[in-house]
Amino acid sequence: MSAPPPPGDPDEDDPAPRPPGQLLGLRFWLLIAFAVVCIAAGLGVARLGPVLFPAP
C-alpha cells in the first residue's frame, strides 16, 4: 500500500470550477465612472486651458 499524496492547495482538488463573477458588477461601474470623469477633465482642460493660462 502506498502513502497518500501530500495535501496541496484545496482549490486544485475541487473538481467543480468556481462560477464566474458578475459581468456588470460594482467594479465595472466604478471603472466606467472613472473614465467619464477623466474624459470630462480632459475636455475641461482643452476648453478652459487657453482662457485660464494664456500664452505669454
pLDDT per position as a tens digit, 1-56: 666 655 665 555 666 777 877 788 999 999 999 999 999 999 999 999 999 888 88
pLDDT at 30: 96
pLDDT at 54: 87
pLDDT at 48: 93
Q: Calculate ∠ Cα 7-10-13, nearest 5°.
A: 85
pLDDT at 52: 87
Q: Which residue has the cell 480632459?
A: 42
pLDDT at 16: 72
Q: Calculate ∠ Cα 28-30-34, nearest 5°.
A: 120
| CA separation for the pair 14, 5 (Å, rounded) | 15
Q: What is the pTM of this model?
A: 0.57
